[in-house]
C-alpha cells in the first residue's frame, strides 16, 4: 500500500525560542524568507504525499492562516504583475490538501499523533516533525516510503549523532539487515550516554502502520510525564517488525538555536539571489574576529 497521508505535529510551546514564540508559533519562524513548517510540507509534497494533517494548539492560528488562501494579497500581487511572488504564495497550497486539528492539552508527541487517528484511518502514514529540516536530493520522507513499500512495515528515519548527543534523542538498538536498513531490537527515549544502546538516533521522520493507534491508547505516561511515541513504538515492535533506515541527507535541528542559525546561513548561501553578497558579508565578519 502506498503512503498518501502525513501527520505534522505542531502543537508545542517552542520554549527554546522564547520570547519570540510567546506570540509567534515556532513553526512559523522563517529560515531566510520561508516558515520552517513550509519546508516540511514541501518535502511531503515532493515525495507524492498530498493529504496532510497539521496538529496545532491554542495560539497557533498563524499556521492555519499561512496555508489558507489570501484573496486580498493575491489580488494585489496579480494586479501589480508580481507573478513570482504570486507563485510563491500559492505554490504549496495548490499542491497539497492540508487539514488541521487541535491538541487541546500538551500531553506529548504520542498524544499528538493519536489526535490523527480519524484522519489516518486504516492506512500507513508518515509522521514529520517540524524541528528537523532535511536537505537531500531525494526527499527524506520519500526515502522512507520507498522502504515501507519494500518491507511492508514501520520504518524510522535515523542517523548517527555521536555518543555525546544521545541524551537529546530517541536512540535505537538495532542490527543491520542490508545496506542502510536496520532491524529494530529496542529503543530508549533520551538515555544517558552510559545507558545508550548506540548513537543511532530517530530524527523526526517516520512511516508507521495504523496499528500504532492501539498502542498509543495503551501507552502510559513516560519521560517528562508525557505520552511518548517512542514508548508506543516499542510496544508495537512486540507485534510487528520495525525497521530503521539511515536516510541520506543533511539534517538541521531547527529546535535548537545553533541548528536554526546554521540552517539560515546554509540556506542563504544556497540561494542564487543571496549567496554572493551574503558570502562577502560573512568573509568580512571572519576578518574582524
HEC states along 97-111? EEEEEECCCCCCHHH
Is a pLDDT exceeding 80 seen at residue 253? yes
- Report d(CA 175, CA 285) in Å as an integer: 46
Residue 164: how many CA atoms within 13 Å on its side-chain side? 0
Q: Give me 21's grid cell.
A: 514564540
Residue 70's pLDDT is 77
Q: Above pLDDT 90, what percent of the chain?
A: 60
Q: Which residue has the higher pLDDT, 93 or 259?
A: 259
Sequence length of the chain is 289
Phi/psi at 246 (5° precision)? -80, 90
Residue 81's pLDDT is 81
Is a pLDDT exceeding 90 seen at residue 169? no
Contact call for residues 157 and 144 (beta carbons, < 8 A): yes
For the ranges 84-98, 100-114, 249-263, which has the lowest average pLDDT? Answer: 84-98
Residue 130's pLDDT is 86
C-alpha distances (whole Å) from 6 to each of 51, 70, 96, 225, 238 are: 6, 24, 11, 26, 24
CA angle 201, 21, 72 (to 5 degrees): 115
- Kindly tell me the sign of the dihedral angle through the C-alpha atoms of 155, 137, 9, 108: positive
Q: For the CA atoms of 38, 116, 158, 46, what is the dihedral angle to 10 degrees?
A: -40
- Report d(CA 240, CA 231) in Å as an integer: 14
Residue 274's pLDDT is 94
With b for 16 or more beta-carbon neighbours within 10 A and e for fewer, the 182-215 pattern comes to: bbbeebbbbbeeeebebbbbbbbbbbbbebbbeb
pLDDT band per the 50, 70, 90 thresholds, residue 107: confident
SS3 content of the chain, % helix, strand, coil (to 5): 45, 25, 30
Residue 77's pLDDT is 79
Partners of 56 in beta bridges: 102
Q: Is it true that the peptide bond before 135 is cis, omega within 30 degrees of 0? A: no
30-59: pLDDT as tens digits = 999 999 999 999 999 999 999 999 999 888
Q: Which residue has the higher pLDDT, 201 or 84?
A: 201
pLDDT band per the 50, 70, 90 thresholds, residue 79: confident
Query: How many beta carbons lie within 10 A of that of residue 11, not counting itself?
Result: 26
Domains observed in the chain: 5-255 (3.90.550.10)
Is a pLDDT exceeding 80 seen at residue 225? no
Q: Above pLDDT 70, what percent of the chain?
A: 99
For the ranges 26-35, 95-104, 126-135, 136-145, which has the lowest average pLDDT? Answer: 95-104
C-alpha closest to that of 228 among 184, 199, 191 = 191
233-242: pLDDT as tens digits = 999 999 899 9
Q: What are the helix (H) ranges across the chain?
A: 36-46, 61-66, 71-79, 83-95, 109-114, 117-120, 140-151, 212-218, 229-236, 257-269, 275-288
Judging by DSSP bridges, how do beta strands 170-178 and 181-189 pair with one another?
Answer: antiparallel
Residue 284's pLDDT is 93
Is a pLDDT exceeding 80 seen at residue 78? no
C-alpha closest to that of 100 among 205, 22, 10, 210 = 10
Residue 49's pLDDT is 94
Residue that has been written with the C-alpha cell 520504518 in this structure = 155
Is a pLDDT exceeding 80 seen at residue 259? yes
Amino acid at each position: 500500500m502506498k503512503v498518501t497521508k502525513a501527520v505534522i505535529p505542531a502543537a508545542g510551546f517552542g520554549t527554546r525560542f522564547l520570547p519570540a514564540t510567546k506570540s509567534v508559533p515556532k513553526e512559523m519562524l522563517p529560515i531566510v524568507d520561508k516558515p520552517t513548517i513550509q519546508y516540511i510540507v514541501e518535502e511531503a509534497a515532493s515525495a507524492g504525499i498530498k493529504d496532510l494533517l497539521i496538529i496545532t494548539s491554542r495560539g497557533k492560528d498563524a499556521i492555519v492562516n499561512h496555508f489558507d488562501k489570501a484573496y486580498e494579497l493575491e489580488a494585489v500581487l496579480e494586479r501589480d504583475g508580481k507573478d513570482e511572488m504570486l507563485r510563491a504564495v500559492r505554490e504549496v497550497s495548490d499542491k497539497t490538501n492540508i487539514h488541521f486539528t487541535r491538541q487541546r492539552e500538551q500531553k506529548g508527541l504520542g498524544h499528538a499523533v493519536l489526535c490523527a487517528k480519524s484522519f489516518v484511518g486504516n492506512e500507513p502514514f508518515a509522521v514529520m516533525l517540524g524541528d528537523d529540516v532535511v536537505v537531500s536530493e531525494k526527499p527524506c520522507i520519500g526515502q522512507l516510503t520507498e522502504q515501507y513499500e519494500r518491507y511492508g512495515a514501520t520504518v524510522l528515519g535515523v542517523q548517527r549523532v555521536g555518543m555525546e548527543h544521545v541524551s537529546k534523542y530517541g536512540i535505537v538498538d538495532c542490527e543491520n539487515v542490508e545496506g542502510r536498513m536496520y532491524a529494530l531490537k529496542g529503543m530508549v527515549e533520551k538515555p544517558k550516554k552510559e545507558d545508550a544502546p548506540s548513537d543511532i538516533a530517530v530524527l523526526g521522520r517516520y512511516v508507521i502502520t495504523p496499528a500504532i493507534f492501539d498502542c498509543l491508547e495503551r501507552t502510559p505516561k513516560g519521560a517528562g510525564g508525557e505520552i511518548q511515541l517512542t514508548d508506543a513504538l516499542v510496544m508495537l515492535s512486540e507485534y510487528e517488525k520495525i525497521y530503521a533506515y539511515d536516510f541520506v541527507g543533511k539534517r538541521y535541528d531547527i529546535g535548537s538555536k545553533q541548528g536554526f542559525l546554521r540552517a539560515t546561513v546554509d540556506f542563504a548561501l544556497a540561494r542564487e539571489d543571496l549567496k554572493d553578497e551574503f558570502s562577502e558579508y560573512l568573509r568580512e565578519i571572519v576578518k574582524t574576529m
